[in-house]
Amino acid sequence: MALVAWGCGDETVAPDGGTPADGGGDTQPDAATGPSSFTVRVFELVGAGGQSQSLIFDAMVALDQADGTRLEKLTGSDGRVTFSEVDWSAGPIALTVGKQGYGLVSSVNIDGTYLASVDELPVILTALKSPAHVAITGTATNTDPSATYLTVTSNRAQVSSQRNDLSFGLSVDKGEPFTLIGLQWTEGPKPSGARDFAETLLGWTELAQPAAQESQSVTLDFANALAPETHSGTITLPANTSLVATASRAFVRVSDLSSGLFLGAVTVSSCGATSCTFEAEHVETQAALSPVTSYILLVFDGITSLVRRQGYPKAGASVTVDGFLVEPRLIAPTNTKQAVPLRDRISWECGPDAEGSGLVIGGGIWTVTARAGRNDVTVPLAPTGIDERALLGVGLHSAQVQCIAGNDKAGALRASTSRTFILQL
């Protein structure tokens, strides 16, 4: 989830729990005074499943005070920077963190009370520069005669291949062993209701390959089948008139949080007034370091609500999934089809169960998290040395508001997204 950058509850936040530790001494300054100093720690998640932290040196941290004054500092070799010059009497501050080759993360409306309650503020940057790639192409053999589509994913590729001629092509990291997971499938049977869905999964296969130094062609042989597991269940819809409750369809997705591997999907689902039922299947592989199961209510125009549980579904289980957040209600912009300037004020309303929210730009190239119970943001300027036009590109950019709630008693992350709207730089 995109708001992980500021410790908003995503299970990938971290080995150390991801949320700032309690601290700050016995006295808790109010929002107008704030702490005399505070520290920001900047890192990226690396290693198997992204469970290790690599501190980022020379990241630029920009602090915007309410009076318009900007302070900027670079992180040291320990990935940290300390600010002690804040004028809290002017009001809440905003922080924006970036470095060449990484996405930008901002947090606005940060008051002194919050910063006095943490030892340091952790910030996760995500690398945008991909390693060198090689093209892997091929065809599938021993396929089912009724197969229409071939979907292929890899633990060394973030982008999948999906074609209707049983061929595939994707790019994997150069010089790294990789695994391909193939799925042959077809649409239907045709659902009977507007909120029903069905697809037929016809077989899975796995191919492990040594490191590739140059482009190559391989064959996916469905005679070497992966045996799928199945599970079913009921999704409890929110008891209100939200679009998530009244206009959604239900989906299941099993994937690997640390890579682009796609490992499972819904086969049939049907939604009524208060709940949805579903059946799904998945496969398991040692190539998946951080498998997760996502239960998704999908509406239209980007509106979704998701409950994501760690791990694979239990084979043969019948589960009940609840706790879905309603979609954010956009207040501004009012017209999601008309582009608005990047730095227009964006405001929204989350449902009562949300614990945090923010703005996701360009699919996560830039995230702006709201703090202090506020449901509005104005995108700050990028830090010195970061060319936001080069980062985002000049023109139109998709954006969504995301509301999020931390792990529930079943260990699930919950999030919902608004209609997609358009920002212009």
Q: What is the pLDDT of residue 17?
A: 27
Q: Rounded mean pLDDT of 230-258?
A: 96
Q: How confident is the model at residue 194 (pLDDT cuts 50, 70, 90)?
A: very high
Return residue ranges of the chain for CATH 2.60.40.10: 2-128+327-424
Instruction: Determine contact, residues 275/234, Cβ cutoff 8 Å.
Output: yes
Amino acid at site 342: L
Instruction: Determine contact, residues 178/172, Cβ cutoff 8 Å.
Output: yes
Q: What is the pLDDT of residue 12?
A: 29
Q: What is the pLDDT of residue 50?
A: 61
What predicted TM-score, i.e. pTM, was given to this entire model?
A: 0.88
Per residue in 44-77, pLDDT (tens digit) is 987 655 667 899 999 999 999 999 999 999 999 9
Is residue 408 over pLDDT 80? Answer: no
Q: Class assignment of domain 2-128+327-424?
A: mainly beta
Instruction: Determine contact, residues 38/23, Cβ cutoff 8 Å.
Output: no
Q: How confident is the model at residue 20 (pLDDT cuts 50, 70, 90)?
A: very low
Is residue 25 over pLDDT 70? Answer: no
Task: State both tokens at 362.
Answer: 């360009």
Q: How confident is the model at residue 28 (pLDDT cuts 50, 70, 90)?
A: very low
Q: What is the pLDDT of residue 53?
A: 86
Per residue in 150-186, pLDDT (tens digit) is 999 999 987 899 999 999 999 999 999 999 999 999 9
Q: What percent of the chain has pLDDT over 90?
A: 73
Q: Rounded mean pLDDT of 212-227?
A: 96
Q: What is the pLDDT of residue 386?
A: 93
Q: What percent of the chain has pLDDT over 70?
A: 90
Q: What is the pLDDT of residue 115?
A: 84
Q: Rounded mean pLDDT of 79-99?
A: 92
